Amino acid sequence: PPGKKVLIVYAHQEPKSFNGSLKRVAVEELSKQGCSVTVSDLYAMQFEPRATRNDECSLLPTGCLHSSEEFKYHVETWKAYKRGDLSKDVIEEQKKVQEADLLIFQFPLYWFSMPAIMKGWMDRVLVQGFAYDFPDCYDSGLLKNKLALFSFTTGGNEEKFTKESISGDIRYILWPMQHGIMHFCGVKVLAPHICFAPEFVSEEKRKEMVTAWAQRLNTLWKEEPINCSPEWYFK
């Protein structure tokens, strides 16, 4: 609907890729609906995935660590967030997240997970005090008025990701991403959009996959989030 804000966090090296097509279609379809769409193209931005000391004290050159004895990333970023002193790239991404009603993560599945550059985005952007706090996590997480959707491609076909298959159910793979990150931060999760093995199907089938994504985006705002409980993943 008009006025809704969407952030697409996109991790693929090649704009002409199938993931690139899915990202483009999402921008087009959501913009047509009157949504305001922002894309964080992580490879193009050369986003720094490593969580290091450089993430805090961007404004204070020395002596600002909370504990000089031992470096604890989560403590230092929490303090730096409160001071408004996280590194500039992290602050920019947090602003985009803060403004968004919906977060779409678009990526190819790497080793049963998201690519390292996207995991690094999660590690660095979703700091304590911004995305969660204690006891403010899961249903009371600090991003609780937002929706998220994981849209990704796999190398294996659908039969390879069933309970009986060697890879196990695709939902097992979604548990750390959807539940361990998004739900932990209070975000409600829409059903994932999975394109199985686009590399190994015909051009026609790939076009059908892109069309199906476009059609889903048309009715996306009417969807109910999934049941955020272990049953959805492991039943």
Helices 203-218 & 18-32, crossing angle to 10 degrees? 30
Per the prediction, the chain carries an average pLDDT of: 94
pLDDT band at 157 (very low <50, low <70, confident <90, very high): very high
- Backbone region of residue 147 per phi and psi (left: phi > 0; alpha: psi in -120 to 50; beta: other values): beta
Instruction: Judge whether residue 17 has pLDDT over 90.
Output: yes
The residues near 78 (Cβ < 8 Å, ≥ 6 apart) are 127, 128, 129
- Per-residue pLDDT, 61: 47
- Per-residue pLDDT, 57: 60
The residues near 200 (Cβ < 8 Å, ≥ 6 apart) are 157
Instruction: Judge whether residue 37 has pLDDT over 60.
Output: yes
Question: Domain ranges in the chain?
Answer: 5-59+69-234
- Per-residue pLDDT, 175: 98
pLDDT band at 64 (very low <50, low <70, confident <90, very high): low
pTM: 0.95
With a pLDDT cut of 70, the percent of the chain lying above it is 95
Fold for 5-59+69-234, please state it.
Rossmann fold (3.40.50)
pLDDT band at 65 (very low <50, low <70, confident <90, very high): low
> 94-131, pLDDT tens digit by residue?
999 999 999 999 999 999 999 999 999 999 999 999 99
Q: Can you read off the two tokens belonging to residue 20?
A: 């690139």
pLDDT band at 13 (very low <50, low <70, confident <90, very high): very high
